[in-house]
Amino acid sequence: MKKRIARLLASLTVGKIVGAPFRLLGKIPLWSIALVIAALGMAYTARALYPVGRDLAIATYAERQASPEHPIEGLPLSTTELVLTWDTGTNEPMLARWAYKIVPFFVTQDIAGESLYPPAILFVPFPGYQSFVVWGNTDCQTVARVNERAYEDDANMFATLTHELIHMQGGNFCNAPKEVASTPGARSIWVESHTTAATLEVLAGMAEYTSDPMIERAFWGDLASLARRSLQAKAYRANVPWLYELVADAYWRTPAQSRRSDFSMRNIWSKSPGELQSIVEKYGELPWDEMVIPGICGERLQTGNLRDISFAQRPARQVLAMSFDDTRAMLGWFGTSVVCAGR
């Protein structure tokens, strides 16, 4: 037996050893090999394309839930004179009333240890290009401003005010770590992406608690905007912006919205296409892909804020991180499964 094994080993050459797998492969029908390769290619392609299909489905469903737009009747009525509404000075009391409904949710959503009401809220016309592309702004401390043009849709106006009030809670919603802030432009990306992600969860919590149709439309509109901007950013990087515009006009925009979009592309973004790409990435693709989707699938968003607590009968400080449990509740089991299936 040992002699037979020795003769067998002696008869083997490097060529025979190396060529054995290829001889075995040659016995397999070519169509079988092609079928396996095609199946692997389809699986890889399906996995790569799943995020696109997911975002298309979410954007389409959310847009239907958010529609139609509801202009605020009787506005704008604001003036340059400020009135004191509780502890907030404002030229539009309705915004102050909204703020006092919104801000307490910042504690329940773990955005801040102690929610801060704004000293002032202004409803003002924005100048120049800002009138068409900026819905609100704030200095994070003293005043939140809402573009007077936002009265064209109450849900969008409510979401805008929520976004600006979250900025005023500090932490990652107004400041960036030193290593991030030292890079030009990085602070804005950090702050806006965190605030955009947090806004969705706050709107979800308010919609769950109040069942207010306007707040529900604000949530779905914000969700649709995130998914759409993610698709828009990818289409523009692939040099097929026309494809995104075609889909948006066919499935998401009303005729009036299509005309407004065409106007903006001709008269605003044609002069600064790089700025448009930066906006859709900062306010859409980045928070959606890196914060909201991971949050829906179980991760938490670091807020950069602390809460004073008592631990073992001693004072302590808790590092706050947001859960996206209310967003999951709004999406339901099926919607959550669609979001997380491709991860």
Task: Please state the domain extents for the chain.
Answer: 55-340
Greatest Cα pair distance, the chain, in angstroms, is 107
The separation between the first and the last C-alpha atoms of the chain, rounded to the nearest angstrom, is 55
Q: Which residues pair with 301 in a beta bridge?
A: 322
Which DSSP symbol is given to 152? Answer: G
Q: What is the pTM of this model?
A: 0.85
Which ranges of the chain does DSSP label H, i.e. alpha helix?
2-11, 14-26, 30-66, 93-102, 105-108, 130-133, 154-167, 178-181, 186-210, 213-237, 241-251, 255-267, 273-280, 286-287, 293-296, 325-340
Q: Helix, strand, or coil here: 85?
A: strand
State the CATH architecture for 55-340.
Answer: Orthogonal Bundle (1.10)
Q: Residue-wise pLDDT tens for the chain (343 aa)?
A: 655 655 555 555 555 555 555 455 556 665 565 666 666 666 666 677 888 889 999 999 999 999 888 888 766 555 667 888 888 999 888 899 999 999 999 999 999 988 889 999 998 889 988 899 899 999 999 999 999 888 889 999 999 999 999 999 999 999 998 888 888 889 999 999 999 999 999 999 999 999 999 999 999 999 999 999 999 999 999 999 999 999 999 999 988 889 999 998 888 888 777 888 889 999 999 999 999 999 999 999 999 998 877 776 777 778 899 999 999 999 999 999 999 987 7
Rounded CA separation 23/115 (Å): 72
